[in-house]
Amino acid sequence: MSNSIHTKLLERKEKLAVIGLGYVGLPIALEFAKKMDVIGFDINEARVDLMKNNIDPSNELEASDFEGCSIEFTANVDDLKAATFYVVAVPTPIDESNRPNLAPLLGASNTVGKVLQNGDYVVFESTVYPGCTEEDCIPVLEEIAGLKAGVDFKYGYSPERINPGDKVHTLQNVVKVVSGNDAESLEEIAKIYEEVVGAGVHRASSVKVAEAAKIIENTQRDVNISLINELSIIFDRLDINTYEVLEAAGTKWNFLPFSPGLVGGHCIGVDPYYLTHKAKEVGYHAKVILSGRSVNDSMGFYIGKQTVKKMIAQGKDMNEAKVLIMGATFKENVSDIRNSKVIDVVNELKSFSVKVDLVDPHASSEEMKREYGIELSKNIGSNYDAVIVAVNHEEYTKLEENDFLKFFKDGKGVFVDIKGVFKNKIKELEYWSL
């Protein structure tokens, strides 16, 4: 099929465009750009300017990752007219009531609709509930472009599987799920993704199946972690160390290795709400999923309260107490602060009049201020009543107890190790973990 869109892209007779150049869009755009001509589009001009200078605004990629790539970065919608294959990779957040916020996705659909022409392809990568692509996005494309989906243009869905900070499970070596609106589009989309995904692709039978597959990946992890979080609360009341229990139980071949912690970020802490929203639309109240979300969403407040209890037990006056929280991002060794549950710990401590210093070697203080109204402290003091290691950044896990002792008032206080990495290493301070 020499006239196929796959062949035309490889022969550089046509161009591929990626809309949204964040954690998901930029890596896929650069991979495609090693094989074909790519237009990288983002509405944020400041981010586009950085990428033009081989700088990843998300701090995930090196300057060398931009080398050897045939890519044009732009914030100008008109530049997208040169493309025939569009990949939409914009965020799908939730609002304050935990309902899906489709504004970025529908905005991107509107943008593509303005430049969409006969014979073009549109593939969505954003995580959504089953049916969203065909029920919410495609009608926008059809209305704006004045074209008929499946007749005038083809479409598909291929969920992103990017794991920020993970240098092992990268785009190239994780199987990519792909789908299309018919057999022809599925094959074309699969061939194009096979060019950049060394691990190969899985051809899903429909767009809805592909959407559902993505959303249950994160929902499954969320529910499993919520169980362990609930167990950690129970074990704490029974005066049992959760990590010792998990270590013992983990000796059985089929025990699943999950651990307690704060569940934030833009995937696990968000995606299940997309599924429960759709379930509600079709008349089903998701009990297990929402119960798991409730447990995980409460963990930051629980950690804050437990820290206060430990300090009170040591005779500390909460009006005078000061706590250092180490780590503000949603996970270790990344700069991403989106939906960070560390903020819940901060807010809970402040509700008890506790003074809080928050530090993080990866996060941006400006972003923290803009997103949460909280600035990062520039320096770590030496007069804290408690220290909470909230995120296991490499810089923190290398520290010894003597390093932490310097932070405490009179070398005494409460040491909270959320993820249990300092288990059996803290002897002088009062130690607590989930």
CA distances to 38, 127, 131, 191, 242 from 123, in Å: 15, 12, 14, 13, 44
Distance in angstroms (rounded) separating the CA atoms of residues 72 and 79: 9
CA distances to 2, 39, 106, 402 from 23, in Å: 33, 17, 19, 37
The first and second tokens of residue 338, run together, are 């989106």
Distance in angstroms (rounded) separating the CA atoms of residues 360 and 158: 34
Whether residue 224 contacts residue 256, with contact meaning beta carbons closer than 8 Å, is answered with yes
Residue 50 CB neighbour total at 10 angstroms:
16
- Selection from 90, 170, 169, 165 nearest residue 363 by Cα: 165
Residues labelled as active-site residues: 267
Sheet holding 176-180, edge to edge: 71-74, 38-41, 15-19, 83-88, 121-124, 154-157, 176-180, 201-203
- Selection from 376, 370, 421 nearest residue 395 by Cα: 421
Measured over the CA atoms of residue 144, residue 148, residue 149 and residue 152, the dihedral's sign is: negative
Distance in angstroms (rounded) separating the CA atoms of residues 333 and 167: 11
Whether residue 21 contacts residue 43, with contact meaning beta carbons closer than 8 Å, is answered with no
